[in-house]
């Protein structure tokens, strides 16, 4: 049986906007500019956990399970900065675990 994951901070439910990114890669001359990625407003649950060692994961999942993943970080602060960059969630919104 594995060790229990330690949760450092969480946001139990928050609407976030996903998508809307413009194409940034190379295109051949005369090619049509691709449309931006589709935009979706989804309710997300986010947590900052340990990774089983001394680093941290920003773990996120939409309420419907369609959008989920995690990113690796060296600190809780770095994970919060990633959440702000990816999901526009300011550090002040995190519930710090006791």
DSSP 54: S
- The closest of 74, 88, 87, 66 to 8, measured between CA atoms, is 74
Which regions in the chain score pLDDT beneath 50? 1
Name the helix (H) or strand (E) containing 77.
Answer: helix 76-87
pLDDT at 53: 84
pTM above 0.85, yes or no: no
pLDDT at 97: 86
Burial of 60 (0-12, 13-18, 19+ CB in 10 A): buried
Helices (H), the chain: 76-87
> How far, in Å, CA of 47 to CA of 61, rounded?
9
pLDDT at 1: 46
Q: Which two tokens stand for residue 41?
A: 């407003």
């Amino acid at each position: 049986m594995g060790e229990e994951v330690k949760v450092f901070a969480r946001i139990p439910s928050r609407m976030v906007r996903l998508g809307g990114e413009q194409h940034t890669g190379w295109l051949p001359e005369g090619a049509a500019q691709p449309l931006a990625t589709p935009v979706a407003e989804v309710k997300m649950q986010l947590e900052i956990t340990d990774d089983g060692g001394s680093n941290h994961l920003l773990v996120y999942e939409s309420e419907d399970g369609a959008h989920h993943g995690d990113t690796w970080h060296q600190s809780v602060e770095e994970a919060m900065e990633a959440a702000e960059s990816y999901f526009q969630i300011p550090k002040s919104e995190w519930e710090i675990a006791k």
